[in-house]
Structure 1
């Protein structure tokens, strides 16, 4: 990065607008790295972030901190001073800290769904460490899930937050996106409440959404398309 800074500094001084804009970004990053700070700690605007992404800096990657706790501490991680230290450090970078107990996770891996629920309840834990890690990773990466439901199978599809209905259709197949007409849509929570599409229609919970619709986490979609 220091070599890059020296190189574009000359161009920036020669009134090269593109180099001047890049120089500002590189200077911010180099200053932080010289102080031992990760690149992700540098405050950058949207356009600056696009420039910085081209450098593929390791310390620009988002982070999740995972603290391995004892069985006695897992129900109340803050009782461990080391956990609190990690939490304070992570908070400075707006990162999550997840407390898990590796021994408990190993035991959970051998249990069925009902047994897991009882086991976690006995420990005073609402969800497993693995589930917490998955949720945190999705949130950190800006990922969400929509579902497609058919007679033979139900599938979950991962998409980036902010994607439209046609873009999500393209996750399944590019033809779905090219020929997108509209999407029949209802939420997972509504489906669990009403139990059938017929009752969803009666309750006015089944919607038809067009090309501008921003798909929400947990949406169940049926795409109409014509190619």
Structure 2
């Protein structure tokens, strides 16, 4: 299960610069709107110090991190839901991602054009959120009309599911009509399932990325406030989301450094404990309720991504569907155990090596070995 993250925002807020820095995959970036027409895609390793520690202990032939896919989607403008700025083409790309990262410009630079000729994070966020909501409203109206037609011709046995879907659409419509994201409307699991195939953009989790200049990232690292960052953070908190502070320029410089120790020194110089990429990935994991478990041995140490609450068979299925189908048991210990005791043999001696069955809920940081039969 790979995390899939779409980077959106107004033109010229630094999306492509951040994408290039995060993924080290060059994306066209220029000082004019709509530079990015086709979405750029980059696959990025998920930073995880635990995997590196496991590799030091087991000395495997291969070390394989979990990955996140970043999709750089072209800039949206007011009227995008009606096709302004090739908006409809861009909006279709957003429907395919799992989480949205909205980049918001939080720096002043007269040499970089702002599409609205002023730096105003709240206005920028409002434009993007309204356009996404209006795009969803258009989808909703089309779907509602089809369902109403189906209801007239369906057999009674099929009408219950249609009526349920219509009720959910009626519940979402008032919010979307006001430009409010669908995720603000409380829905049960069954209600979400009823409209799953609508692929509403604003039902997706969304976090916010404050793009700052180097002075801004230094100030942030030193705990000095910024009204622009505060505006974004307040907006995100009101949605139950998070705001991450990133300097696209700084991340680009960091991406060019290959030596891990030199990277740490570069971060420390600004007073940062982690890179913007690390902060963004961890925020997305929290927002989506994702967890990591590991497999470790002489052949391979590897990180795997699951959802919080997944059982041992479900986790086994992430490795291979046969593992889930034929699941027998899982041998488990925690990452903390291997750090404390240094080897699997000593973990067993301490009584920390466990055998878990089908009902076991996998915990973040578990190291697992699966037994199965097919």
Normalised TM-score (structure 1):
0.89
Superimposed CA distance per residue, residues 4-26 of structure 1 (whole angstroms, 9 cap, x where no aligned partner)? 445656859xx954444333311
CA distance in 2, matches of 1:98, 1:51: 33
**2:326 counterpart of 1:175:** no
Alignment counterpart, residue 208 of structure 2, candidates 38, 53, 65: 65
Cα separation, 1, equivalents of 2:144 and 2:253: 51
1:189 CA displacement: 2.1
Q: How does 1:111-126 map to 2 (within 5 A)?
A: 111=257, 112-126=259-273
Distance 2:142 2:261 in 1: 58
The answer to whether structure 1 residue 90 and structure 2 residue 262 are counterparts is no
Find the residue that maps to 1:217 and give its secondary structure.
Answer: coil
| 1:46 paired residue number | 189
State how far apart, in whole Å, the 1-side matches of 2:176 and 2:142 are: 13
Measured in 2, the distance between the counterparts of 1:156 and 1:92 equals 33
Larger RCO (CA within 8 A; separation ≥ 6): 2
Report the equivalent of 2:252: 106
Deviation at 1:84, TM superposition (A): 1.0
Asked whether the 8 Å contact 1:8–1:23 carries over to 2, the reply is yes
Cα root mean square deviation, aligned:
2.3
Alpha carbons 2:175, 2:185 under 8 Å: kept: yes
4+ residue segments displaced more than 6 Å = none
CA, structure 1 residues 152+22, in 2 after alignment: closer, same or farther (shift >3 Å)? Answer: closer
Shift of 1:63: 1.0
- How many residues align? The count is 226
User: 1:73–1:79: 8 Å Cα contact kept in structure 2?
Assistant: no
Q: Does 1:201 align with 2:352?
A: no
Q: Distance in 2 between matches of 1:123 and 1:29?
A: 45
Structure 2 unaligned residues grouped into runs of 5+: 1-139
Distance in 1 (CA, whole Å) between partners of 2:217 and 2:352 is 40
Partner of 2:141: 2
Return the offset for 1:89.
Answer: 1.5
Q: Tell me the equivalent position of 1:155.
A: 302
What are the superposed Cα offsets for residues 134-191 of structure 1, whole Å, 9 maximum, x if unpaired?
1122222332221111212211122222211112112222222222221111111221
- Give 3-state SS (helix, strand or coil) of 1:44's partner: coil
TM-score when normalising by structure 2: 0.56
Distance 2:194 2:161 in 1: 10
Give the secondary-structure state (helix, strand or coil) at the position aligned to 1:72.
Answer: helix
- Distance verdict in 2 for CA 1:8–1:153, change over 3 Å: closer
* Structure 1 position 213, deviation (Å): 0.5
Q: Comparing 141-150 with 25-34, which one deviates more in the overlay?
A: 141-150
Give yes or no for contact 2:306–2:315 (8 Å, CA) kept in 1: yes
Residue in 2 that maps onto 1:33? 176
Change (3 A) 1:105 1:20: same
3-state secondary structure, aligned to 2:229: helix
Q: Distance in 2 between matches of 1:204 and 1:108?
A: 43
* CA spacing shift, 1:173–1:2, aligned 2, 3 Å: closer
Contact 2:296 2:302 in 1 (8 A): yes
Q: Is the 8 A contact 1:67 1:100 kept in 2?
A: yes
- 2:128 aligns with none
Deviation at 1:214, TM superposition (A): 0.7
